[in-house]
Structure 1
């Protein structure tokens, strides 16, 4: 938010004051945490959207291209992409449809499962996602607006919350190599 649009009071702190004043003190800290996270997400998405706009990408489209570009062969089953992106299958299908329309990904038959599709990133998709990643790294990810220690602490706290909410499990210890 620009300096000229800054509010004279923190609306989340005011909401907390109101929660307490209305007798909801036991819920005030939780409401403050939830609304703070949502507002922080809005601020981060505004930076991400501004950075990706010149590339014609939404964050969802970027994530799918980046996921495919990270694979060894630039391809993965649609079901794997859905699982890794942690969004509704319809959302991934719509994203794939738009990326395919733009020539950034293609669908191919799965080599084993005739009912499944493989998503394949095209060379145009690779070039675009590499350029977009360089921009995101320099304009957003290298300086998210927090110190290194605060960033690490925030990631630890949110990861613990996500794990406790059933978002993921720790990998089982792998056997020692032979």
Structure 2
């Protein structure tokens, strides 16, 4: 049930009385954090029929995007911007479900490769179609607004050293 008031607006009002020079930034951050919770909840509801979490979907989608359908475990973590332990946990679950296989890299047996299976490829295509049909939990947000939001968030990510400032910017 929706609340009959906006708790972030109320927090902003309280902040405005005490720390007015920081009230807008607090409201912006709190809004982003709340929207992240809402989006993740909706994404999880969309992926649940496929037995996937967003983390497992991202790992499968990443593997499906590669030429050979496989990547070293370390590269998966780097590309998804997650801790190696999270990659191991996600790949463990996907491997148990038959969506991914692990093997040692032929050129260096210390490196472990994760490979998407045909079942994993089929599942990620179906899950991708469902997420696309749900507009990635942003129904009613037009393309122009999505691009503007992405560009704004990219500036914040860049200033947070999330990636090199010289990195390609398709929204510029």
Short-chain TM bin: over 0.9
Q: Is the 8 A contact 1:68 1:76 kept in 2?
A: yes
Residue in structure 1 matched with residue 111 of structure 2 by the alignment: 116
RMSD: 1.4
User: TM-score, normalised to structure 2's length?
Assistant: 0.92
Alignment CA distance shift 1:17-1:171 (3 Å): closer
Please list the CA deviations of residues 44-99 of structure 1 after superposition, one character each: whole Å capped at 9, or x if unmatched: 11210110000000000000000000001101111110100101110110001111
1:10 counterpart = 2:6: yes
SS in 2 for 1:120: strand
- What residue ranges of structure 2 are gaps of 5+ in the alignment? none
Residue in structure 2 matched with residue 59 of structure 1 by the alignment: 54
Q: Is the 8 A contact 1:48 1:140 kept in 2?
A: no
- What residue ranges of structure 1 are gaps of 5+ in the alignment? 173-178
Correspondent of 1:48 among 36, 43, 58:
43
SS in 1 for 2:98: coil
1:38 counterpart = 2:39: no
Aligned length in residues: 167
Please give the residue correspondences for 1:24-173 in structure 2 after superposition, counting only pairs within 5 Å: 24-141=19-136, 143-169=138-164, 170-171=166-167
Higher radius of gyration, 1 or 2: 1
